[in-house]
């Protein structure tokens, strides 16, 4: 695996950023934008995915990073659940729902794979060098 120097180098952070931007696009649809509670919840949870990856990485140790990755994965599930609410309320089309749901599922799988990698690596983080 290539050396990762910045959280921006992580594929999972890059994918989370794209997902967050996709969510931002749909929450500005006319009907969706009027459902302030759901709009703020899904905007927050989708942002939490990328933010927790970044914060955990910046802690410098794998144990702490694993905690933040777990939170990030949970936020991914929360966003996916909120997509169901958006679809059920007819704020987004079925195609948009399926596309975003699948992006969330793929991101969740990649976060899980990265968690497994970190649990099994001998590397402990840059603050332990």
Domain 8-120 in CATH 1.20.1440.60: yes
Q: Are 79 and 45 in contact (CB under 8 A)?
A: yes
pTM for the full model?
0.91
Domain boundaries, the chain: 8-120
Looking at residue 65, its pLDDT comes to 95
43-88, pLDDT tens digit by residue? 999 999 999 999 999 998 889 999 999 999 999 999 999 999 999 9
The residue among 38, 46, 51, 47 whose CA lies nearest residue 77 is 46
Q: Say which residues have a Cβ less than 8 Å from residue 25's Cβ, sequence separation at least 6.
A: none
DSSP string covering 55-74: HHHHT-SHHHHHHHHHHHHH
**What are 46's two structure tokens?**
């989708």
**What are 17's two structure tokens?**
């950023």
């Amino acid at each position: 695996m290539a050396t990762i120097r910045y959280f921006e180098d992580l594929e999972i952070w890059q994918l989370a950023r794209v997902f967050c931007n996709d969510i931002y696009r749909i929450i500005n649809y006319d009907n969706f934008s009027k459902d302030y509670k759901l709009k703020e919840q899904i905007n927050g949870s989708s942002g939490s995915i990328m933010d927790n990856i970044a914060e955990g990485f910046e802690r410098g140790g794998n144990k702490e990073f694993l905690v933040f990755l777990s939170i990030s994965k949970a936020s991914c599930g929360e966003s996916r659940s909120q997509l169901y609410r958006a679809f059920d309320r007819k704020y987004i089309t079925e195609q948009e729902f399926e596309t975003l749901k699948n992006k969330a599922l793929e991101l969740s799988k990649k976060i899980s794979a990265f968690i497994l990698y970190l649990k099994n690596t001998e590397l402990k983080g840059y603050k332990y060098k």
